[in-house]
Amino acid sequence: MNNRFLPVNRDDMAERGWDECDFVLISGDAYVDHPSFAAAIISRTLEHAGFKVGIIAQPDWKNVDDFRSLGRPSLAFLVSPGNIDSMVSHYTVNRKIRSQDAYTPGGAAGKRPDRASIVYCGMARQAYKGVPVILGGLEASLRRLSHYDYWSDKVRRSILLDSKADLLMYGMGERSMIEIAEALKEGRGIKEIRDIRGTVYAQNAGEPLDGDAIRLPSYEEICTDKTVYAKSFAAQYRNTDPIAARPLAEASGQRVVIQNRPNFPLSREEMDRTYTYPYTRKAHPMYDGAGGVPALKEVEFSLVHNRGCYGGCNFCALTFHQGRIISSRSHDSVLNEAEKLTSAKGFKGYIHDVGGPTANFRAPACAAQLKRGACPNKQCLTPEPCKNLEVDHSDYLELLRKLRSLDRVKKVFIRSGIRFDYMLQEKNDEFLKELCQHHISGQLKVAPEHVSPRVLSMMNKQKHPVYRKFMKKYSDMNRKLGKKQFLVPYFISSHPGSTLKDAVTLALFMKETGFIPEQVQDFYPTPGTVSTCMYYTEINPLTMQSVEVVKKEREKRLQRALLQYNRPENFALVREALVKAGRRDLIGRAPGCLVSERGGSGGRTGSGGSRGGNRSGKRRPKG
C-alpha cells in the first residue's frame, strides 16, 4: 500500500472505514508528514501501535467547530503547539511581530495564537467536555514547571496549570505516548495515570508525595525572590537525567505540580523503527495552492542520525528537552532512508545534511553515562574535556562514506552543528580531512559564540584559544587539499555576562579575521536554559555568583553595532560604545581602529582574513 496521510477530515476517516479516531492531534504547525516534525513522529508512532489518529492542523482558534472537525476522539485530544515555541514563532528578540512563519503554508504569519498550548487545550475542552487533554511538544516541555517568560517579563506558573491539560508529556515523547495510550485503552482514567516517566501531572496540596521526590520552592516563593528562583532552576537542571534524576514537586496555590523522572532515550532498535514508519515525507496537498510549507524545504533531503547532546551550552534547551545522553540510528537505518531520498521527486543528487543536535556525536560521552547517568555537577567538554570522554569519529566517518557511495548521490553535506572542540580531541585528522574534502561547499558553519573568557564561561563554551587552534587546523587542511573554503562562525550579542568591553573584544577579533556577520543574533531568553535564568535573576544558578546582564535596548544596540562596526548606519553607535567602554584609542584612522572620528571605518589591520574567516554569513535563528 502506498504511503498516505493520516485523516484530516471526515471524508478521510470514511475512506478508512473509521467512525471515530482514538486520538485527535491538534497541531500549531501545518501538517507535514516528515520525521523532522514532532507531530508526524508521534502520530505515526501511535498508528504503528494500532491506534487511529486524526490531525487537526492550525485550526481557527476562535471557532470551536474547527476542533470538532474529526468528531469526538474515543481516548484523548493531543495538543502540540508546533516544532518551536509559539511565542518564538511570533516575536523577534525585540518583541516585534515576525512577518513570516516557516511552519505555515506559504510562510504566512499569524496562523496560530500566542501561547498556543493554553489556547488549544481550552478549545479542545470546549469542543467535547470530558475528553482527556494531553499536552506535549517543545513549548510544553520547556514550560513544564514555573519559568521566566520573556514576553511578559514575569515568572509564569507551570503551563500544565494554565492550560488545564490533564497530563503533560516532556522530552522526546514516543515511549511516554505509547504508555499513556495503552493505559487509556485498558480503561484507566486519565487522573489515575501518574506513574509514567516523562510526564507531569497536578494533584491537590494535601495529597502525599513520592518519598523520593525533591520539594522545590513554591511558585509564590520563586516569584518574590530571584535567588530562590535560581536555586530552584539549578535543582531542575540537575534532575534531567533518566538514570540519576528524582521526581520534582512544585506547589502553586492549592495545587502541586509533579514532574516524574525523565523517560529513557530510545534504544538504537527503537530509533531505527521510528524512521521506518510510512511517512509521505511531504506537506499535505491541501497546502499546494499556498506554495507548500517552507520549513519542509530545509529538511526534505536531510537525514537525522542522532538525538541528545552533551555539549552543555547554557543558552541551549537541549539538556531540558532531549537530554545529555546520545542515542543514534544504525547505518542500515540511515542508508535505507537515504535510498528513499534518492528516489524522491526533486532529488538532484545532494543530501543536504547528515546530522542532529550535534552532527559529530554518535555515542554517549562515556560508558559511565549508561550506568550512572550524566554527571549532575560536571560537563563533558568544559571547562576542559573530561578525562573519561570517549572521542571517536570512525563510526560517523564510515556512515558518511557509505552514503557517498550510493547511486544517484553526488554530494553529502554536513550542515548541522559540528563541535570543533570535540573534533580537536581526536587523535588524528582523518575526520577533518574528509569533512573538508567531501562534506562542505565553500563554507563551514561553526559556533564559537564569543571570544571573551568571561562570556564564554557564562555560555559554558570552551576558551577562545581552542577556536583559534581549530581555525588554523582548518585553514592548513584546506591549503593542503588545495581548496579555498571558509569558516562562518556564529556569535551571540548581549549574552548574560557580556559587557561593552567584551563586545569590543569581539569586534576586534572580527576586524582581525575580516569576518563581519550579515545578521547579528541578540541573546533570546527562552524557557529551559541556564542563560535565561541568568538573564532574569542576574545570578548564575550553577554557581550562585552574580552576573552582569544587559536588558536596556540602547545597550543591546551598542553591542550589536560593534559586531557590524563597518556599516555606515552603525558608525555613531560604535563611537558611542567605544567611548562608554573607555576605548577612545579605537576611534581614528590608525591601524586597528574600528571607526573614525567623524565618519567612515577605522584603519586597516595587518592580518585581514588570513585564517579563512573573511566571508560574511547569516546567523541562524536560535529557538
Torsion, Cα of 117, 120, 124, 127 (10° steps): 160
| Three-state SS at 54 | strand
Q: For residue 264, what pLDDT band results from cuts at 50, 70 and 90?
A: very high
Spatial neighbors of 280 by CB under 8 A, at least 6 apart, are: 3, 4, 5, 33, 34
pLDDT of 349 over the 80 cut: yes
pLDDT of 611 over the 60 cut: no
Q: Looking at residues 368-393, what average pLDDT do you find?
A: 94
Task: For helices 430-438 and 394-404, give the axis angle rounded to 10 degrees.
Answer: 30
- Where is average pLDDT lowest: 293-297, 401-405, 463-467, 516-520? 516-520
Looking at 2.60.40.420, 3.30.750.210, 3.40.50.410, 3.90.1150.10, the CATH number of the domain 301-430 comes to 3.30.750.210
pLDDT of 10 over the 50 cut: yes
Q: For residue 441, what pLDDT band results from cuts at 50, 70 and 90?
A: confident
Rounded-to-integer distance, Cα 431 and Cα 434, Å: 5
pLDDT at position 2:
54
Task: For helices 331-343 and 394-404, give the axis angle rounded to 10 degrees.
Answer: 30
Give the residue extent of every domain in the chain: 10-202+255-259, 301-430, 442-623
Rounded-to-integer distance, Cα 344 and Cα 512, Å: 45
The b-or-e profile of 511-520 (16+ CB within 10 A means b, else e) is bbbbbbbeeb
> Is beta strand 350-351 parallel, antiparallel or unpaired with respect to 411-412?
parallel
3-state helix, strand, coil in the chain (%, to 5): 35, 15, 50
Domain 10-202+255-259 identical in fold to domain 442-623 = no
Q: Looking at residues 195-220, what average pLDDT do you find?
A: 95
Q: Looking at residues 64-75, what average pLDDT do you find?
A: 98
pLDDT of 246 over the 60 cut: yes
Q: Looking at residues 344-349, what average pLDDT do you find?
A: 94
Q: For residue 621, what pLDDT band results from cuts at 50, 70 and 90?
A: very low
Domain 442-623 belongs in CATH node 3.30.70.1380? no
Q: Which of 295, 325, 298 is nearest to 309 (CA)?
A: 325
pLDDT at position 604:
64
Q: 265-319 pLDDT, tens per residue?
A: 999 999 999 999 999 999 999 999 999 999 999 899 999 999 999 999 999 999 9
Q: Looking at residues 174-203, what average pLDDT do you find?
A: 97
pLDDT at position 549:
97
Tell me which amino acid residue 109 is: A
- Grid look-up 592548513 returns 476
Rounded-to-integer distance, Cα 347 and Cα 336, Å: 15
pLDDT at position 618:
42
Q: 478-505 pLDDT, tens per residue?
A: 999 999 999 999 999 999 999 999 999 9
Q: Which CATH architecture describes the domain 10-202+255-259?
A: 3-Layer(aba) Sandwich (3.40)
What's the residue count for the chain?
623
DSSP codes, 287-307? GGGGT--HHHHHHTTEEE-EE
Q: Cα-flanking dihedrals φ and ψ of residue 545, to 5°?
A: -95, 150
> How confident is the prediction for the chain on average, in pLDDT?
94
Under the phi-then-psi rule, with left for phi > 0, alpha for psi from -120 to 50, and beta for the rest, what region is 253? Answer: left
* CA dihedral sign, ordered 106, 107, 108, 113: positive
pLDDT of 379 over the 90 cut: yes
pLDDT at position 598:
78
Q: Looking at residues 519-538, what average pLDDT do you find?
A: 96
Cell of 227: 535567588
pLDDT of 97 over the 70 cut: yes
Task: Count Cα neighbours of 215 within 13 Å in the Cβ-side half-sphere.
Answer: 9
CB 170 within 8 A of CB 201: no
Cell of 465: 584559544
Q: For residue 605, what pLDDT band results from cuts at 50, 70 and 90?
A: low
Rounded-to-integer distance, Cα 120 and Cα 348, Å: 40
Q: 16-41 pLDDT, tens per residue?
A: 999 999 999 999 999 999 999 999 99
